[in-house]
Structure formats: C-alpha cells, structure tokens
Amino acid sequence: MEASNPNLKTYKLARGEITFDEAVNYLMEQTGMDRQVATIEVNEYVEKQTYFLSYYLGKHMILKLKKDLKERLGGGFDEKRFHDILLYSGNLPMKYVRRMVMENFKVCLGGSLL
C-alpha cells in the first residue's frame, strides 16, 4: 500500500516514524530523482509541512467541481472547456473559479467547495 501512496511516507516523516535519509531514499526509489533533488524535496516537506497539504486540498476542490458539473450536465459536460476555464482562471481562489465555471456553462451548482 505504501508504494502506491508516497504521501504516507511524508506523514511518517512528520510523525518521526522514518528518518530524513529514509524519506530521501524512498523518493529516489519511487520517482527516480537523484539524491540532491530528493534531499531538497524532503527538506521542503520538513520545513513547510502544511504547505503541500494545500495542493491536495486544491486538487480535491477541482475534482469536486468537475464531479458536480458532470452530475448537472450529464452528457453535455465538455472536458476541454472545463480545463480551459481552469487554466484561464490562473490562481484565483476556488470560489471564483467555481463561479467562472458556472457562468461559462450556464448552470447553478450551489456554493459548496468541499
């Protein structure tokens, strides 16, 4: 299970269940990174433990938006159009991205981001 979910190693590192070097070696094994790059990456995890969580939250919000839109539109969902809107929106907060998607697809999805 751990090999399919590299994030488990990050959690173990944060909890002190694996060493820094074990985390570096794991990244090298799983991604093919060289030692220097893997060391820099693990150092980032150590210094900014919650920073990377924001990526997972953003991913979850995008996937939920896509799911909500697909449920509402059914066969009228356009994958390319959806991703074009996401890319066009840049780094706006998700509540504004959600609004842009709703306006562009002319649907109302409610206000839930999660």
Residue 94 has pLDDT above 50, yes or no: yes
Contact between residue 107 and residue 96 where contact means Cβ atoms under 8 Å apart: no
| Structural domain contains residue 9 | yes
Q: What is the per-residue pLDDT for 110?
A: 77
- Report d(CA 67, CA 65) in Å as an integer: 5
| Structural domain contains residue 111 | no
- Does 77 share its domain with 45? no
Q: What is the per-residue pLDDT for 78?
A: 95
pLDDT level of residue 2 (50, 70, 90 thresholds): very low
- The DSSP-derived string for 10-63 is HHHHHTTSS-HHHHHHHHHHHH---HHHHHHHHHHHHH-TTHHHHHHHHHHHHH
Q: What is the per-residue pLDDT for 4?
A: 45
Note the pLDDT tens digit of each residue in 10-46.
678 878 899 999 999 998 998 899 999 999 989 988 8
| Structural domain contains residue 114 | no
Higher pLDDT, 2 or 25: 25
| Structural domain contains residue 67 | yes
- pTM recorded for the entire structure: 0.65
Q: What is the mean pLDDT of residues 56-75?
A: 92
Contact between residue 77 and residue 101 where contact means Cβ atoms under 8 Å apart: no
| Structural domain contains residue 93 | yes
Q: What is the per-residue pLDDT for 15?
A: 82
**Residue 103 is inside which H or E element, if any?**
helix 94-105
- Does 36 share its domain with 78? no
Domain range spanning residue 6?
A: 2-49
